[in-house]
């Protein structure tokens, strides 16, 4: 890879395991871990759901874009877990491609449904019935997949987190990222 990119960014739909894998990967590689949703909540001094409820999705996406860009411009090589929509809004995928090496954690729709149904911390899905959530997942993935597929590498994220981290680590070592 020419011009080594220092950051490793995990992208994918909500519930794909970005935060879990990101923390484990950061520990494995001895790199700082950045969770953009966590940093947004910290900067705004409210939960992601509260931001959506009080300020709206457009405001959230602007803050999300700023947080992501700042993280990517850091000189310290980090593991960055994005929110599911970060690559799809305000040129997010372009910044990710420019400043990092990215992995798309791809998970099947049924698995996503099982993981996120009833999770009240996810503002886009917290009030949805199972049927509505299934429709939301199908529609959202069909729109977002084009952005997710621009990642450097797709990882089928069905296994235990330890196995997924192992596969990513091997790939990083092989590619000397």
Which tens digit of pLDDT belongs to each residue from 118-170?
Answer: 998 999 999 999 999 999 999 999 999 999 999 999 999 988 999 999 999 99
Report how far residue 97's alpha carbon sits from residue 125's, in angstroms, rounded to the nearest whole number.
Answer: 28
- For domain 7-164, give the CATH number: 3.40.50.300
How far, in Å, CA of 173 to CA of 177, rounded? 7
| Chain segment 78-129, per-residue pLDDT in tens | 999 999 999 999 999 999 999 999 999 999 999 999 999 999 899 999 999 9
Q: What pLDDT is stored for residue 176 in this prediction?
A: 82
Q: Which helix (H) or strand (E) holds 146?
A: helix 130-148
The per-residue pLDDT for range 10-60, each reduced to its tens digit, is 999 999 999 999 999 999 999 999 999 999 999 999 999 999 999 999 999
């Amino acid at each position: 890879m020419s011009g080594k990119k220092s950051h490793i960014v995990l992208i994918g739909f909500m519930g794909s395991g970005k935060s879990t894998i990101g923390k484990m990967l950061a520990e494995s590689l001895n790199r700082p871990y950045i969770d953009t949703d966590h940093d947004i909540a910290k900067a705004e001094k409210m939960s992601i759901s509260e931001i959506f409820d009080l300020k709206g999705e457009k405001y959230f996406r602007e803050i999300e874009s700023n947080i992501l860009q700042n993280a990517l411009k850091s000189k310290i090589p980090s593991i960055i877990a994005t929110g599911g929509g970060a690559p799809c809004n305000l040129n997010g995928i372009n910044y990710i491609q420019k400043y990092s090496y990215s992995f798309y954690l791809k998970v099947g729709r049924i698995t996503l449904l099982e993981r996120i149904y009833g999770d009240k911390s996810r503002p886009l899905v917290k009030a949805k019935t199972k049927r509505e959530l299934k429709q939301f997942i199908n529609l959202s993935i069909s729109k977002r997949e084009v952005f997710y597929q621009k990642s450097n590498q797709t990882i089928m994220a069905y296994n235990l987190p330890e196995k997924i981290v192992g596969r990513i680590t091997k790939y990083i070592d092989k590619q000397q990222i």
